[in-house]
Each structure stands twice: as C-alpha cells, then as structure tokens.
C-alpha cells in the first residue's frame, strides 16, 4: 500500500471523526444551555478551548458569545477543525482514494459535505441547530458503519481505524479536560453547584455515554465517576482507553510497527493506571490530560514518520 | 410516435448510419429498425437509464471553473456509431502501418538520423520542434518502440473517405471512456447485443498490461507496474485511476516515487520502498523529471530519466516520443511510410500546407478564408483558425502570425466532418463527429475495435472536446457476414 494513500485514508477517518465529535459537543452544550437558569453563566468559549484553536478564535472575534463560538465551531473556514472545514477535508481525502474504499463511501462523504455547506445557516440558528447536528452525526455514523461492514479489513481499513480512534481519544480527553476545568477546579464558584450533575450529564451526552454510564456505573452522576468512565472504561467505545485499545490493535496488524506500537501501548497503559480520584483531589487532572494529549500527538507523529513520511530518500 | 427515418436528413454531410432519408446503411439496418421499434417514450426512458448509469458508475471528467475543479458527469449519446468490420480491418491495418513507421522514425531521429541524410525530410523541422528531447539522443528502448500507446484522430469527409487528422503520441486520453461507453450501452440496449455481432472492446486493459509487462527490465511473471498521474486536478484523473484499477496496477503520483543510488525506481509504501519495473506515465515530458526537464516541476520524479536511460525502468510512452506530434512532421508521415516500410499509406493524411515552404505559404495566405490553420505543436484544438468561420480581423492576425513564425504553422482544407443521428431533446438530429482509436505497440501491435467517438452536441458545431460541449458515443464494429 502506498504511503500517500495510507495517509489520506487515515486523515479521511480523522476528519470525519472530528466533524462528528464537534457536532456532538455543540449539540450537548446547546441542550444544556436550554436547561440552565439565566443566572448561571455558560461559557461557550470553553467549547472553542476543547478544540485547542483559541488563538485562531481570538484573531477573528472579540465577543465570546454563543453566536460567534457556534459559528467558529461549525462554519468558519479559517478554523481548520470546524465541521464544515473537516468535512471538506474529508471529502478531498476520499476523492483521491475513491478506488480503495467502497464507492458508496465517496457518495456519503460528498453528499455530507454538500449538506453541511448548504444547510449551515440552520445549524447556526437555535431553531434548526438540533436537526442539523443530528443529521451530521448520523451521516458520519453511516459512513463508519459502511466502512466497517463493506470494506475489506485490510491495511487501508487499519489506517481508517487508526485515524478514527486516535481522533476520538484526542477529542474525548479534551472534553474531560474542559469539563474538569469548569466543574472541578472552582469550588468557590457556587452558582454552578446545583447544576453540576446537569453539566456532567451533558458531557456524557456529547459522547452518547449517558445511558451507558447509567447501565454500567450505576451510581449517581458525579465528577470522579464520569471522568473515570470517559477515560478508562474499556467496554465503552468512546472512552479514551477503548479508543487506544483499537489504535493498538490496528497498529499491531500493520507492518514495521515497532515505534508506533510501543508509544501506543505506553499511552494506553498510562491512561489505565491513572488514579482519577487522586488526580482530582490533588488538582493534577489538567496536568495529566495535558501529558496525555502530548502522548497522543506523539503516537500520531510516530505513525506519520513511520508510514507516511515521504521525504526519506531511498 | 416513433422515429421516422424518412424525416431524418443528414445532407449535405456524410452520415455514418443513414445513406439518405429513409435509407439506412446496410451495417446500421438492425440498429435503426430497433430504434424505431422503441417509440419516443421508450427512447427517453433509455436515455434516462444511461444518464443514471453514468452517475452511478461515477464516470466523470474534470473541468476547471472559477478556480475550482469540478467533476462532471461524462456526456454520452445513446445512439451508437456503427462501422462495418470489413472497413475497420482496413483501418486497423492502416493504423498499425502508421505507428510502425512513426516508431521507426522516432528511433531514427534519436539515433542515426538517416531520414535527414537521405533527404526524405529536411532536418530543420527538429530545430523548432517543441517535443524533440536532446536528452534522448543515443537511447535504444526495448523493441525500438518509443510510442507504445498512440491515439490517432480519424475524420470522415463528405465523400466518405477516412483521414488521419492527427497522431497523439504523448499521453493520449479517452480510452477509459471508450470502455465505459460500451458498459453503459450494454445496460441500456441489452436486446440488440443478442442478435447482432458487435466486436467486444474490453480486451484493452489486458493488452495494455501485457504491453507494459513486455518492457519490464526484469523479465519475470509479476512485474510491478505503476500508472503515474499528475493527480486529482488533472482532467484525465478518472482515466488514470480507471486504468490502474483495471490492470491491477498501482496509481502513483510523483511524490510516491524515488530513484535510488542504484538508479532503480522505488515507490514509498507502508512496507518500505518497493521497486517499480514499468511506469505508464500520464505526465508530459516537461514535468517528468525536474533534474533533466522543467526544474520547477513538483509532479515529477527526480532521476527518472537516469533510471530509464540506464535500463532500470520501462517508461511508456518513452520520453521524447512526442517529437512526432508536431504537425509539420505529421505532413511527412506518408513519406515516412514509404521510406521505412516501402509501402503506400493505407489511410491518407489530410492534405497539409507547410507555411515554412514559400509556395505553400503564399497559397495559405491567399486562401485563409477556406483553410484551417493550426500551430504545429498544440493539442486539444488550441490556437487554431477556422478560416470560413473567422472574422476578417482574426484572419489578419493569423496572417501576421504565419509571417512571423512560418515553421510553427500548417494549414489544411476545411473538412466537412461526417455526422450521425444524435438524440437532441426529443428527436434525432445529425451531429458532427470524429473517432479516436487507440493503438498499442510493444512486441506486437493491437488496435482497439473501434475507439472513442466524440460528437459535437451543438448544432453545426465541429468542436468535439468534452470540455467545450462535446459528447461521445459508443462505437460498434459490426460483422455483417454474421
């Protein structure tokens, strides 16, 4: 398999996953914002912080209000992680690898890209937002299902799996970070206190994890358990540990995998070994997530260097 | 209502299917009867089925518009163009003869240059030939073949004679559409394939693979073959990807390849570097190797020429093969056939005036309103003057262009391209067309059964290019004895 092709299917999967996660995040925050009393200030800017693109946001906007934040997250082309940008990039990547993936995959991505581009206005307004975002999420999942069910599970598919799960682990860890920042670090901020459960629920919801949490954790929603669930619950497919499990599995099947495999396993071990309660008590969760994100980026660098690097001479 | 061939009048042009109103040519009788048996509604339904199949199969071509490249559905007319097998055999022989002579010529140009010494062709033509490559002097590619894949454009004039209009020896495109047109037609008119004997066209990818395998530097059963594309932005990307898939070859871009210190070409794969034996390159010479040609090219592979020159990789078409694309050289092809093969040309050239010759030039300048003037080294119909349709001002511009650079212009009489019935809105109307058969030459020479018929969809138009409103038709070679 050509390195360039491997890189493109990997990014195809990453961008689709990014679009889906961003859409989920905006949707759950949108829903919780409708529940919150006006006295509790909701900072949409936190969502921008999740994507790590705060500086780009600040370059373009002065007001950190809902309108600007949602526009930045969903529509703006100068935000390379916005839903519209991600879908456009996904489309470019599948366009150049059409011969590798089932032909329906191209159609789904192409139509999704057109749908998002043409209906973005309803996503920006409050009224059509839920429907718009649900549709984006569902179409992303259609693609994931199609690839899982109709594409040979060959190296190309392993690169798709790799991209999807690494992106998912990355986004999930960012969500935990922001949630933790908002909810755990400020005991003095009394206004949100009674609504803590609501906010954690929204974070679970953004990962479709609310119901699964209920079934498997069986305890009242609380910060420590939610963080543990989203970070370490191996059976839950959107948990960081689960995603890293899949990253490891995909890497294991690929040739010449020593370096990326070692890093992926190391990262996974660190996640599973983390003492969540301790980290929160000692106010070290943010630092831990920071390191985790560097490690995830390290896995990406290692695999890019190992399989995609084109500048190496013969 | 159904088609009434009596009301279809192609005059004053030669029609491929209909000899005169109500009188189909013998070879087209079954088809025309079948079409009239369908009725208008059914015909429209078939047309819709074809459009749907094209979308579904993803048959597209790329056009640039407002800085973006857009994938457009391939324009296709469901009424096939039919050619009798007996006539086609003659054409095939003519194309084999022509490409054989052209390859002998290219090999001669880069080696002994006998044709100039023997004064069959003046040597000056090389001096301003844009596609002559000094870097190729002295190279002897396998089997003496430089142009492995040739797409020659054939046109039929009013009297029914077929002429070669031009030879494309660099990176001729269109063959994938020939194959897809047949696929679509089989879906749309399955009944007629049952009771006519229409020659199949789908051997092409196998023949192409075999030809490419035959120029592999490592004689082995499984040569690694790659199709080198400039990338997704190229208008023929669909075809590059199509041919790679059909041959089971790797579709690569320049950045995927690297030439090692051992002069071998490798592709970068997830397994590491893998050697490539043969490259079917769909990149022009100029962009192929920044070390030897255009140094700014990002599409090419540094060192590719070195690898080829040292026999470590097969290249099709060979660099420099485009020298014979020059329209001044085209004018000498009949002389070449005589000189190298001692034969008379089977398919005639369109009479060509070389502006570099004083007598010809005087004639051309005097008759600009009747002639088509073409630059010697352009393809795709660019920079042409169609005298009868041009304004006075345009003709004056060309007169001064010709006087300034006579070597770079040729002129030909304006042909009345033949027509064929084409489904326009809701009736059949005559539209002009041409034909591009594809010829493969390696150890053996193969000609496609038919080729790509391109049709000008606009009434009266002679422009068949798909980027300018041209369409296409399936081309049937029909065995009448069956």
Flag whether pLDDT at A314 surpasses 50.
Answer: no
The reported pLDDT for the residue numbered A268 is 96
Query: What is the percent of chain B where pLDDT is above 90?
Result: 74
Three-state DSSP class for residue A39 = coil
Which residue ranges form the domains of chain B, and what is each CATH number?
A: 97-148+199-341 (3.40.50.11290), 353-413 (3.30.1490.270)
The whole-number average pLDDT for the span B157-170 is 94
The answer for residues whose C-beta is within 8 angstroms of residue B209's C-beta and 6 or more apart is B225, B247, B248, B249
Compare CB distances from A96 to B232, B268, B272 and report the shortest one's residue.
B232
Q: Which two tokens stand for residue B372?
A: 């088509």
Mean pLDDT, all residues of chain B: 92
Residues of B with a Cβ under 8 Å from any A Cβ are 58, 231-232, 241, 244-245, 250-253, 255-256, 258-261, 266-273
Q: What is the pTM of this model?
A: 0.84
The reported pLDDT for the residue numbered A281 is 86
The answer for residues whose C-beta is within 8 angstroms of residue B273's C-beta and 6 or more apart is A314, B258, B260, B266, B267
Flag whether pLDDT at A311 surpasses 80.
Answer: no
Compare CB distances from A4 to B244, B253, B259 and report the shortest one's residue.
B253
φ, ψ for residue B22, nearest 5 deg:
80, 0
- Among A57-66, A106-115, A217-226, A232-241, where is mean pLDDT lowest? A217-226
The whole-number average pLDDT for the span B11-40 is 93
Compare CB distances from A254 to B270, B272, B273 and report the shortest one's residue.
B270
Look up residue B160 and give its DSSP letter: S
The whole-number average pLDDT for the span B464-476 is 85
**Contact by Cβ (8 Å): B445, B148:** no
CB contact A310 to B (< 8 Å): yes
The closest of A209, A95, A102 to A148, measured between CA atoms, is: A102
Q: How far apart are CA A27 and CA A206, in angstroms?
A: 7
Parallel/antiparallel/unpaired status of strands B470-478 and B257-259: unpaired
The reported pLDDT for the residue numbered A313 is 47
The model's pLDDT over A6-57, given as tens digits with 9 standing for 90+, comes to 999 999 999 999 999 999 989 888 888 887 777 776 788 888 988 888 899 9
The CA-CA-CA angle for residues A62, A65, A71, to 5°, reads 90
- Among A72-86, A133-147, A212-226, B307-321, where is mean pLDDT lowest? A212-226
Per the rule left: phi > 0, alpha: psi between -120 and 50, beta: everything else, B199 is: beta
The model's pLDDT over B353-386, given as tens digits with 9 standing for 90+, comes to 999 999 999 999 999 999 999 998 776 667 889 8
**Contact by Cβ (8 Å): B108, B125:** no
The closest of B350, B334, B482, B319 to B412, measured between CA atoms, is: B350
- Which alpha helices (DSSP H) does B75-136 contain, by range? 85-110, 114-117, 124-127
Nearest CA in chain A to B237: A96
Flag whether pLDDT at B164 surpasses 50.
Answer: yes
Q: How far apart are CA B255 and CA B299, in angstroms?
A: 7
For A76, counting Cβ atoms within 10 Å of its Cβ (0-12 exposed, 13-18 middle, 19+ buried), the class is: buried
Flag whether pLDDT at B40 surpasses 90.
Answer: no
The whole-number average pLDDT for the span B388-405 is 92
- Among A16-20, A185-189, A295-299, B13-17, where is mean pLDDT lowest? A185-189
Flag whether pLDDT at B1 surpasses 70.
Answer: no
The reported pLDDT for the residue numbered B3 is 83
Who has greater pLDDT, B286 or B436? B436
Nearest CA in chain A to B56: A103
The reported pLDDT for the residue numbered B461 is 83
The model's pLDDT over A83-96, given as tens digits with 9 standing for 90+, comes to 999 999 999 999 88
The model's pLDDT over B124-133, given as tens digits with 9 standing for 90+, comes to 888 878 889 9
Q: How far apart are CA B58 and CA B54, in angstroms?
A: 6
Q: Which two tokens stand for residue B23?
A: 């009188």
The model's pLDDT over B68-103, given as tens digits with 9 standing for 90+, comes to 667 788 889 999 999 999 999 999 999 999 999 999
Who has greater pLDDT, B168 or A43? B168
Measure B232 CA to nearest chain A CA, in Å.
6
Torsion angle defined by CA atoms of residues A40, A43, A46 and A47, in that order, rounded to the nearest 10 degrees: 100
The whole-number average pLDDT for the span B456-477 is 86
Q: Under an 8 A CB cutoff, do A96 and B260 touch?
A: no
Which residues face B438 on adjacent strands? B151
- Among A66-75, B172-181, B340-349, B460-469, where is mean pLDDT lowest? B460-469
The reported pLDDT for the residue numbered A310 is 63
């Amino acid at each position: 398999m050509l390195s360039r092709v491997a890189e493109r299917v990997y990014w195809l999967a990453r961008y689709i996953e990014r679009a889906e996660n961003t859409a989920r995040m905006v949707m759950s925050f949108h829903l919780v914002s409708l529940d919150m009393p006006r006295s509790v200030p909701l900072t949409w800017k936190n969502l921008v912080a999740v994507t790590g693109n705060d500086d780009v946001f600040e370059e373009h906007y002065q007001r950190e209000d809902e309108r600007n934040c949602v526009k930045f997250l969903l529509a703006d082309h100068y935000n390379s992680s916005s839903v519209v940008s991600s879908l456009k990039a996904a489309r470019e990547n599948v366009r150049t690898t059409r011969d590798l993936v089932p032909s329906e995959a191209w159609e789904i991505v192409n139509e999704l890209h057109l749908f998002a581009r043409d209906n973005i206005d309803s996503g920006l307004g409050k009224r059509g937002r839920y429907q718009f975002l649900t549709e984006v999420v569902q179409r992303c999942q259609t693609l994931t299902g199609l690839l899982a069910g109709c594409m040979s599970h060959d190296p190309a598919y392993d690169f798709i799996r790799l991209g999807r799960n690494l992106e998912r682990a990355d986004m999930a860890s960012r969500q935990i970070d922001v949630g933790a920042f908002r909810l755990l670090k400020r005991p003095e901020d009394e206004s949100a206190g009674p609504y803590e459960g609501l906010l954690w629920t929204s974070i679970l919801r953004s990962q479709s994890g609310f119901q699964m949490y209920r079934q498997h954790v069986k305890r009242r929603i609380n910060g420590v358990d939610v963080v543990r669930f989203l970070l370490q619950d191996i059976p839950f497919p959107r948990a960081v540990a689960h995603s890293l499990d899949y990253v490891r599995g995909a890497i294991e099947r690929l040739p010449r995998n020593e370096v990326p495999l070692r890093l992926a396993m190391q990262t996974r071990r660190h996640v599973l070994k983390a003492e969540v309660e301790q980290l929160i008590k000692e106010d070290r969760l943010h630092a831990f997530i920071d390191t985790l994100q560097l490690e995830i980026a390290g896995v990406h660098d290692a695999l890019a260097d190992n399989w995609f690097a084109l500048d190496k001479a013969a | 209502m159904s088609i009434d061939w009596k009301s279809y009048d192609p005059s004053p042009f030669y029609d491929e299917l209909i000899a005169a109103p109500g009188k189909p040519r013998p070879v087209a009788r079954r088809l025309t009867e079948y079409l009239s048996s369908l009725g208008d509604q059914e015909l429209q339904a078939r047309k819709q089925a074809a459009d749907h199949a094209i979308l579904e199969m993803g048959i597209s071509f790329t056009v640039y518009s407002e800085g973006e490249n857009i994938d457009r559905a391939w324009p296709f007319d469901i009424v096939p163009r039919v050619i009798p097998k007996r006539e086609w055999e003659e054409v095939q022989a003519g194309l084999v003869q022509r490409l054989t002579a052209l390859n002998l010529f290219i090999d001669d140009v880069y080696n002994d240059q006998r044709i100039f010494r023997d004064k069959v062709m003046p040597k000056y033509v090389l001096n301003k030939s844009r596609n002559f490559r000094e870097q190729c002097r002295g190279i002897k590619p396998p089997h003496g073949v430089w142009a492995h894949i040739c797409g020659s454009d054939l046109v039929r004039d009013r009297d029914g004679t077929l002429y070669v209009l031009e030879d494309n020896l660099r990176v001729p495109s269109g063959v994938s559409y020939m194959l897809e047109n047949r696929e679509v037609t089989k879906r749309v008119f399955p009944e007629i394939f049952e009771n006519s004997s229409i020659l199949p066209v789908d051997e092409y990818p196998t023949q192409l693979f075999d030809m490419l395998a035959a120029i592999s530097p490592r004689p082995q059963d499984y040569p690694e073959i790659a199709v080198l594309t400039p990338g997704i932005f190229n208008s023929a990307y669909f075809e590059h990807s199509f041919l790679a898939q059909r041959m089971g070859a790797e579709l690569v871009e320049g950045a995927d390849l690297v030439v090692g210190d051992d002069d071998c070409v490798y592709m970068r794969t997830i397994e590491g570097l893998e050697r490539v034996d043969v490259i079917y390159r769909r990149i022009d010479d100029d962009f192929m190797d920044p070390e030897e040609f255009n140094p700014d090219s990002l599409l090419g592979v540094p060192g590719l020429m070195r690898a080829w020159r040292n026999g470590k990789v097969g290249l099709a078409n060979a660099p420099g093969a485009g020298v014979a694309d020059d329209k001044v050289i085209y004018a000498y092809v009949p002389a070449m056939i005589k000189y190298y093969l001692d034969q008379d040309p089977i398919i005639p050239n369109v009479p060509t005036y070389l502006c570099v010759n004083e007598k010809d030039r005087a004639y051309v300048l005097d008759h600009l309103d009747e002639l088509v003037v073409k630059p010697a080294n352009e393809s795709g119909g660019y920079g042409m003057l169609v005298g009868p349709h041009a304004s006075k001002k345009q003709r004056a511009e060309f007169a001064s262009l010709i006087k300034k650079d006579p070597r770079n212009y040729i002129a030909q009489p304006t042909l009345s391209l033949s027509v064929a019935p084409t489904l326009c809105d809701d009736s059949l109307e005559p539209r002009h067309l041409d034909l591009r058969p594809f010829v493969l030459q390696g150890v053996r020479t193969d000609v496609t059964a038919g080729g790509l018929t391109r049709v000008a969809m606009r009434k009266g138009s002679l422009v068949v290019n798909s980027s300018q409103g041209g369409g296409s038709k399936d081309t049937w070679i029909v065995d009448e004895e069956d």
